[in-house]
């Protein structure tokens, strides 16, 4: 077994660890948070279409609109990001 084979097999784990670190840092370090980090949207479809999608731009599909949206309060946002980061 060579180094490339081992790294290739560990790639999914590295991805999960990366997402977990991102969520933990966003929840725990205020300087890491981007503008709009507490925004959330709920769609009634499995795959929402963005307005920048080529299907939408060519007129073959309409952009999916959220059925609910809002902002977490500060404490709920920190708790959500921390729990998701710990899970990953």
Total number of domains constituting the chain: 1
Query: What is the domain range of residue 27?
Result: 3-87
pLDDT single digits (tens) 7-26? 888 999 999 999 999 999 98
Q: Distance of alpha carbon 55 from its chain centroid, rounded?
A: 23
Alpha-carbon distance of 83 to 28, in angstroms, equals: 11
pLDDT single digits (tens) 35-73? 888 888 887 776 667 767 788 788 887 877 888 888 888
Kindly report the pTM of this predicted structure: 0.67
Apex 84 CA angle, 80 and 88, nearest 5 = 170
pLDDT of residue 47: 67
Backbone angle region of 22, left / alpha / beta, with phi > 0 → left and psi within -120 to 50 → alpha:
alpha
């Amino acid at each position: 077994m060579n180094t490339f084979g081992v790294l290739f097999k560990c790639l999914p784990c590295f991805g999960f660890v990366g997402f977990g670190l991102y969520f933990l840092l966003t929840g725990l370090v205020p300087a890491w948070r981007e503008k709009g980090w507490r925004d959330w949207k709920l769609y009634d479809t499995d795959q929402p279409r963005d307005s920048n999608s080529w299907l939408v731009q060519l007129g073959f599909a309409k952009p999916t609109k959220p059925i609910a949206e809002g902002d977490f309060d500060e404490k709920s946002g920190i708790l959500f990001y921390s729990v998701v980061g710990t899970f990953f």
